[in-house]
Amino acid sequence: MLVRIVKLKFKTENISSFERIFEETSEAIRNQPGCQFLELYQDKNDAAIFFTYSYWEDEASLNAYRHSKFFKEVWSKTKLLFKDRPEAWSVEKKAILN
């Protein structure tokens, strides 16, 4: 399993637009082939910073999504809202404690 973490920083005036885009597209993202989990977090000290966490079956599934027409449409709308360049990491989960 691959975990994708993306940090997004938006212009303050664009926060609600991003939240609307995420609300409208999150189910479709979660239902992409190979996507097993999707969450959105907002920083407690800076409301303009968000993180997405998504779990993917493998890197091929993530890359198929990233190269899809759907991703390109969503990303083209989202990137207009950024204050800073997004950061992304692909990581492996090493431990789970419940």
pLDDT, position 80: 97
- Expressed as residue numbers, the domain containing 62 is 2-91
CA count, 13 A, side-chain hemisphere, 93? 14
pLDDT, position 83: 97
Q: What is the pLDDT along the chain (98 residues), one digit of tens a residue?
A: 999 999 999 999 999 999 999 999 999 999 999 999 999 999 999 999 999 999 999 999 999 999 999 999 999 999 999 999 999 999 998 998 98
Does residue 7 form part of some domain? yes
Does residue 96 form part of some domain? no
Q: Look up the CATH number of the domain holding residue 61.
A: 3.30.70.100
Residues making up the chain, counted from first to last: 98
pLDDT, position 91: 97
Return d(Cα 26, Cα 45) in angstroms, integer: 24
Closest Cα to residue 38, out of 51, 22, 54, 24? 54
The number of folded domains in the chain is: 1
Task: Please tell me what DSSP assigns to residue 13.
Answer: G
Taking the CA atoms of 82, 45, 20 and 1 in sequence, report the sign of the dihedral they define: positive
pLDDT, position 47: 98
